[in-house]
Amino acid sequence: MIMIAINIKSKTYPAKGRAGQHLAIANFKLAVNANEFVCLVGPSGCGKTTLLNIVAGLDRDYDGEINVGEVQTQPKIGYVFQNPRLLPWRTVKENIELAIEDNASSENIDALLEVMQLAQFQHVYPESLSLGMSRRVAIIRAFANNPDVLLMDEPFVSLDAPTARQVRGLLINLWQQRPHTVLFVTHDLREAITLADRIVFLSSAPMQVIREIKVSIARSDRDNEQVIEAFRQQLLHDQPELK
């Protein structure tokens, strides 16, 4: 079943510092299956955040059509922004509670805090958290409403390698426990190979799909850096234009 059907004919912004329009996205089509984990890889400024904002319904100023879920139902979307955006005057748990809908249970939050290894920090204020912990809070916040679709915009940028690895592992645990469709933006090919069922490579403006590849590595091998690196080398060898 297709969960997200994207068909953007064009998305323009007013051009910076000159008259006219900047064509950010043109003739962009992508279908994402239910419970599929798709990574979007593309250069900085190519339009990835713009795309997620459109899929999230935050930006309606485009020509085209986005369908999420079945027309009859209203799918829930969780969005992890590039910056954690926590309120400094609220504790970890309060930051999560603020984002959730009435029907989400506090048991659910407790379970998520447990999985993300933050239970003992739930009453702490954001200023005492490391960046890795703040990003984990942002992920819990997005998960707390049990979303059908999770949008993630470079959520692990500027984490040191061991922390990024840990949080990736926690994310995949969560995804396997609670299946849902993920659109994950990154410019790190190793990260994409580690996480994705399918990687979609994007061009710079106007953003289009250059190539799609399936990642055939078993989930049980995804924490093996040598396996990831061998896959990356082979991919870049076969398709040097992706470098």
Q: Which residues bind ligand ADP (CB under 6 A)?
A: 13-14, 22, 24, 42, 44-50, 205
Give me the sign of the Cα torsion angle 125, 160, 216, 4. positive
CB of 29 to Mg ion, least distance (A): 20
- C-beta of 23 vs 217, nearer to ligand ADP: 23
One character per residue 31-60, x = contact with Mg ion (rule: CB under 5 A):
------------------x-----------
Which one-letter amino acid corresponds to residue 59? D
Match 């916040």 to its residue by tokens: 141
Could you give the C-alpha distances from 111 to 90, 115, 175, in angstroms and in order? 20, 6, 14
Q: What are phi and psi of 78, to 5 degrees?
A: -105, 140
Q: Which does 13 bind (CB under 5 to 8 A by kind): Mg ion, ligand ADP, none?
A: ligand ADP
x/- track of binding to Mg ion for residues 145-174 (CB under 5 A): ------------------------------
- Considering CB distances under 5 to 8 angstroms, the limit depending on partner class, which of ligand ADP, Mg ion, none binds residue 44? ligand ADP
Q: How far apart are CA 239 and CA 214, in angstroms?
A: 14
Judged by CB, which is closer to ligand ADP: 133, or 200?
Answer: 200
To the nearest whole angstrom, how small is the minimum distance from the Cβ of residue 45 to Mg ion? 8
CB of 45 to ligand ADP, least distance (A): 4
Longest Cα–Cα distance of the chain, Å, equals: 54
Which residue, 16 or 123, has its beta carbon nearer to Mg ion?
16
Verify cis geometry, omega within 30 degrees of 0, for the bond prior to 206: yes
C-alpha to C-alpha distances, 138 to 83, 85, 225, 227, nearest whole angstrom:
9, 8, 26, 29
By C-beta, is 27 or 234 nearer to ligand ADP? 27
Pairwise CA distance, residues 50 & 45, whole Å? 9
- Nearer to ligand ADP by C-beta: 95 or 186? 186
Give the nearest distance from C-beta 92 to ligand ADP in angstroms: 27
**Are residues 38 and 198 in contact, defined by beta-carbon separation less than 8 angstroms?**
yes
Residues that bind Mg ion (CB under 5 A): 49
